[in-house]
Every structure is written in structure tokens, then in C-alpha cells.
């Protein structure tokens, strides 16, 4: 998948035997991706030791409407998508991110599931009176609880999520002395002291303004803008429909970040976040830190984008069984993680080791390759410490076509995908040749980036 930048079986396969083999592998009940996932989560313990980490969680849908003719609605491993008409399944990971540098470290929680075609609607289930553990939305709480178990040696955990995770029970159940929540507000909740959350914010003075550079996206124009910050402490009242014997209110800090109207381009909505957190917020600097932590939530959006149209094209897979699609999805998630780790580590100065992605043998090969990509000037040298992830990312980006100047636009996902493709192909040839020959030298030749290895027989 890394080499060919896709999860589509026909594109992965060199011949029909490959296609048949891949399909048999994915449909084999002995291939257990849960075991693989649990092994990965177990390894996260060491990486997070003594660190303050974020667990960013969100749900994404994999929709196979365009492949409906390949799929069987009687398959219990696939079901209705979010609109209750299309066919697909859902993925909800907890992405662990280092707060010091924003690097994605791995996963502390993974939930992959599908709905039933005959599932009752909310009215039929009397949804409002259901216990939270019986609801699909319990995944938000479960992610927090399972993540605390998965990374017990982390100094601090901050669970980060968007509006859908604004669940009263979550604020009661999940937080503890080393675990905080940072959730975007979903609705205008009632306050124990009277009034509503949004009324309180309207009556709260701005604590300051900070400048923000907004990058151009399909929904926003790039600009230098100003964000007004407010913060206050509130007591959120328990919703009336909750009959459980749980606290009648939870005390939270709320931070509002809102773009100045004068800075918003015509036709756009202002940037506006209302953030609920169990972190202490007593001054402007602490409020800004809350906004910065929440901004890292974008990491999980990049992960999903890399799995889908921005990279591996998971929704283009033509596998015919739900269980095979789900296994492929978990594999794609890990591949997307590695691609994003390289992109995020391109300017890292903290010395994160490359062995979270590359083996010792691969790093030795990178050491051989790097001089071939370095120019004559210092600006074209690899500036990072050997065997760090930034050192490896520099090399992979150069193999993907990046020119190597730090002052130019940084390499993106596609550049790293192309670089990984070429690295894997070159490394494969190197490993084959190494069995029977010794290397005299390795040259990078041609505008197309072809590698020619010159060998002397033993």
C-alpha cells in the first residue's frame, strides 16, 4: 500500500495470482486485525511515557454506494451509511498526538462497526431515555476510558473531539487527575446558576486578541486575521431527560475564539469555536493554549483524507465482503498514519526516532541514499540528526521530488507518497541484489527519478 499509494486490489496486484492471494488473505478468518491493532496500542505505552498527549477522536464513514452491485445487503459486516440509504461502515479511532510538536504517535483506541438494515429509528427506540451505554454515541466515552487504560504512563491526557462529543455523561465519567476533556460545544446548554452558556459568553468581556494566519482551503480564503478570545467558568446543568443518579451539574471552563467581523471575507462565515474543557483557564495565555490544542484536531481530518481521496482511495475498493473491507480499512489507517508522520516530522527539532516507521536495515539504506540527494551548498544538506524521523522525512521528500530548500513550500502528502513509492522500490532492489553482490556505489539518475545501482560481483 505504501509503495503503490492505493488500497485498490487490482492496482496493488502485479498479476491475477496476486489478486486472488490478496483477496484470500483478507477474507481469511485467521487474519485478525484486532490482534494487530491491540499490538500497536500496546506499543504506544512506551512512546507516551511521561508526556502530555492528546487523544483526538472522531468518526468517519466509508461509503460504497458506487460499488453497490458488488456488495450483498445480507452481509452482516456491512450496513446502511449515515443517510440510511447508501451502504458502508464507520471507523472511530483515538489518534494519539504529542502536544510538544504535534506529531501523530499512533492509536489508543479503534472502533470499526456497521449499522443494521432493520435497526429501529430513534423514536422507536425511545432514544432519549436509553442509557448512554446502549447508544452508538457511547463510543466517544469509551474512547476516553479505553485510552486511559492504553496509555497509563502518560503524564497527562487531553481527550479532544468535535461537537458530537458534547455529551453530559462524558464530562462526568471520563475526567480524572491526569485526564482532561477539550470538546467543542454542540448546543446552548442551561447553567446551574441561571441563564444559558451562550448568554454568559455574550456578557463576558474579551480578554485579548491574537493574530492568526489562515491558509487557503476550498472553503476559506487565505488571510492574516485577528481572533478575539473570551474565557469564563460555568456550571453546566444536567439535562432533564437524564434520570440517572449523576451530579446535577459539572463545572467547566469555556473558551470562545471568534474572528473579528471586519477581517472576514465576503461570503464566508467567521472562524468561531466555543470550547468546553476541564483544564484550568485563569488567564489569556492559558485560553490561547486551549485554542492551540484544539487546533491540532485537524490531524485526524488529515488521517481520514489520506485514507480516502487524498491518498489511498479506500472507498474505491471493489472487495465484495464487509469483513475484508474492514480489515483493509484498518491496514489503510496504519499506512495513512505513517504517511502523515513523515509529513508532520519534516521540520521536527525534538529528535523523534525514525524507528517508529523504518527498520534498522531501511535506515542504513537511507544513510547510503542521502548523500546522493544533498547539494553542494549547506542549504541543500540534510540538516537533521541521523536516524531521527525528520532526517528520514527529508530524504523521502527529496525522493518524492522536493527540491530541498527549507525556505520553499514544504512537501505535502503527495510528495511523501511518491517518495515512499520510490524508496520502497529502490530498497526492494537493494535487498535482492545484496544477497549475491556487494555494492560499489549507488547513483540517482534521470529526470524521472530512476535509480541505477552499480554492483561488483563477489
Does residue 96 contact residue 54 with C-beta atoms inside 8 Å?
yes
Beta-bridge partner residues of 212: 225
Q: How confident is the model at residue 426 (pLDDT cuts 50, 70, 90)?
A: confident
Does residue 229 contact residue 287 with C-beta atoms inside 8 Å?
yes
User: Distance between the two ends of the chain, CA-based, in angstroms?
Assistant: 34
Distance separating alpha carbons of residues 48 and 186, to the nearest angstrom? 30
Does residue 84 contact residue 122 with C-beta atoms inside 8 Å?
no
Is residue 187 classed as helix, strand or coil in its secondary structure?
A: coil
Residues 15 and 154 in one domain: yes
Tens-place pLDDT, residues 282-295: 999 999 999 999 99
Residues 156 and 15 in one domain: yes
What does 61-120 look like in DSSP terms, one character per residue?
EEE-GGGGGG--TT-TT-EE-TTSSSEEEEEEEEEEEETTT--EEEEEEEEEE---TT--
Residues 449 and 303 in one domain: no
Q: What is the mean pLDDT of residues 324-351?
A: 86
Residues 134 and 62 in one domain: yes
pTM for the model: 0.84
Segments of 139-271 assigned E as strands: 156-161, 179-184, 208-214, 223-237, 249-259
Structural domain count, the chain: 2
Q: What is the mean pLDDT of residues 403-416?
A: 79
User: Is residue 335, in this structure, part of any structural domain at all?
Assistant: yes
Burial of 266 (0-12, 13-18, 19+ CB in 10 A): exposed
Residues 447 and 316 in one domain: no
Nearest to 414 by CA among 397, 426, 428: 397
Distance separating alpha carbons of residues 181 and 250, to the nearest angstrom? 12
- Whether residue 365 is predicted with pLDDT greater than 70 in this model: the reply is yes
Residues 307 and 448 in one domain: no
User: Is residue 83, in this structure, part of any structural domain at all?
Assistant: yes
User: Is residue 402, in this structure, part of any structural domain at all?
Assistant: yes
Give CA angle at 297 (292, 298), nearest 5°.
105
CATH of the domain at 407: 1.10.740.10
Q: How confident is the model at residue 448 (pLDDT cuts 50, 70, 90)?
A: very low
Residues 425 and 444 in one domain: yes
Residues 355 and 427 in one domain: yes
Residues 308 and 366 in one domain: no
User: Is residue 178, in this structure, part of any structural domain at all?
Assistant: no
Residue at which a domain ends, from 280, 314, 344: 344
Highest mean pLDDT among 161-170, 309-318, 342-351, 432-441: 161-170
**What are the Cα distances from residue 39, in Å, to 42, 46, 199, 244, 367?**
5, 12, 47, 36, 29
User: Is residue 236, in this structure, part of any structural domain at all?
Assistant: no
Residues 82 and 15 in one domain: yes
SS3 letters across 396-439: HHHHCCCCCCCCCCCCCHHHHHHHHHHHHHHHHHHHHHHCCEEE
User: Is residue 209, in this structure, part of any structural domain at all?
Assistant: no
Cβ neighbours around 184 below 10 Å, total: 17
**Residue 166, C-alpha cell as written in the block:** 458534547
Residues 15 and 157 in one domain: yes
User: Is residue 149, in this structure, part of any structural domain at all?
Assistant: yes
| Positive or negative: CA dihedral 246, 249, 251, 253 | positive
For cell 551548498, the residue is 377
Backbone region of residue 208 per phi and psi (left: phi > 0; alpha: psi in -120 to 50; beta: other values): left
Residues 328 and 393 in one domain: no
Distance separating alpha carbons of residues 320 and 72, to the nearest angstrom? 8
Distance separating alpha carbons of residues 252 and 183, to the nearest angstrom? 11
Element (H, E) at 266: none
Nearest to 327 by CA among 19, 63, 24: 24
Does residue 34 contact residue 41 with C-beta atoms inside 8 Å?
no
Q: What is the mean pLDDT of residues 402-431?
A: 81
User: Is residue 75, in this structure, part of any structural domain at all?
Assistant: yes
For cell 484536531, the residue is 297
Q: Could you tell me the residue range of the domain that residue 93 belongs to?
A: 9-162+297-344
% the chain with pLDDT above 90 = 48
Residue 388: what are its φ and ψ, rounded to 5°? -85, 165
Does residue 108 contact residue 117 with C-beta atoms inside 8 Å?
no
Instruction: Compute the mean pLDDT over every residue in the chain, rounded to the nearest whole number.
Output: 87
Tens-place pLDDT, residues 142-192: 999 999 999 999 999 999 999 999 999 999 999 999 999 999 999 999 999
Amino acid at each position: 500500500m505504501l509503495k503503490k499509494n492505493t488500497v485498490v486490489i487490482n492496482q496493488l496486484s502485479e498479476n491475477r495470482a496476486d489478486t486472488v492471494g490478496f483477496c484470500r488473505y483478507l477474507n481469511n478468518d485467521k487474519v485478525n486485525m484486532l490482534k494487530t491493532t491491540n499490538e500497536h496500542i500496546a506499543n504506544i505505552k512506551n512512546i507516551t511515557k511521561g508526556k502530555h498527549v492528546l487523544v483526538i477522536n472522531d468518526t468517519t464513514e466509508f461509503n460504497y454506494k458506487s460499488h453497490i452491485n458488488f456488495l450483498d445487503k445480507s452481509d452482516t459486516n456491512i450496513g446502511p451509511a449515515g443517510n440510511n440509504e447508501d451502504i458502508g461502515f464507520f471507523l472511530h479511532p483515538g489518534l494519539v498526538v504529542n502536544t510538544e510538536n504535534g506529531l501523530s504517535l499512533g492509536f489508543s483506541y479503534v472502533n470499526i462497526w456497521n449499522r443494521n438494515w432493520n435497526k429501529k429509528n430513534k423514536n422507536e427506540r425511545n432514544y432519549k431515555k436509553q442509557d448512554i451505554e446502549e447508544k452508538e454515541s457511547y463510543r466517544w466515552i469509551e474512547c476516553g476510558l479505553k485510552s486511559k487504560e492504553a496509555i497509563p504512563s502518560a503524564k497527562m491526557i487531553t481527550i479532544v473531539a468535535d461537537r458530537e462529543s458534547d455529551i453530559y455523561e462524558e464530562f462526568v465519567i471520563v475526567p480524572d487527575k491526569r485526564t482532561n476533556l477539550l470538546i467543542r460545544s454542540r448546543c446552548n446548554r442551561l447553567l446551574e446558576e441561571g441563564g444559558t452558556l451562550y448568554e454568559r459568553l455574550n456578557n463576558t468581556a474579551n480578554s485579548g486578541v491574537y493574530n492568526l494566519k489562515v491558509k487557503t482551503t476550498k472553503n476559506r480564503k487565505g488571510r492574516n486575521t485577528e481572533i478575539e478570545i473570551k474565557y469564563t467558568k460555568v456550571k453546566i446543568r444536567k439535562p432533564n431527560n437524564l434520570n440517572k443518579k449523576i451530579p446535577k451539574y459539572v463545572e467547566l471552563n469555556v473558551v470562545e475564539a471568534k474572528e473579528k467581523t471586519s477581517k472576514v471575507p465576503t461570503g464566508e462565515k467567521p472562524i468561531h469555536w466555543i470550547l468546553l474543557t476541564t483544564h484550568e483557564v485563569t488567564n489569556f495565555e492559558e485560553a490561547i493554549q486551549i485554542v492551540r490544542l484544539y487546533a491540532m484536531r485537524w490531524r485526524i481530518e488529515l488521517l481520514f483524507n489520506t485514507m480516502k481521496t487524498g491518498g489511498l482511495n479506500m472507498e474505491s475498493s471493489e472487495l465484495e465482503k464487509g469483513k475484508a473491507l474492514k480489515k483493509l480499512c484498518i491496514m489503510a489507517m496504519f499506512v495513512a498514519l505513517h504517511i502523515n508522520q513523515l509529513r508532520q516530522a519534516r521540520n521536527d527539532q525534538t529528535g523523534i526516532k525514525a524507528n517508529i516507521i523504518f527498520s534498522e536495515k531501511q535506515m542504513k539504506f537511507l544513510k547510503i541514499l542521502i548523500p546522493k540527494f544533498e547539494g553542494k551548498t549547506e542549504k541543500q544538506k540534510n540538516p537533521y540528526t541521523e536516524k531521527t524521523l525528520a532526517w528520514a522525512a527529508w530524504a523521502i521528500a527529496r525522493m518524492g521530488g522536493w527540491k530541498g530548500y527549507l525556505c520553499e513550500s514544504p512537501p505535502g502528502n503527495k510528495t511523501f507518497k511518491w517518495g515512499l513509492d520510490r524508496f520502497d522500490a529502490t530498497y526492494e532492489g537493494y535487498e535482492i541484489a545484496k544477497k549475491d553482490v556487494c555494492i560499489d556505489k549507488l547513483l540517482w539518475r534521470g529526470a524521472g527519478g530512476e535509480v541505477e545501482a552499480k554492483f561488483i560481483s563477489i
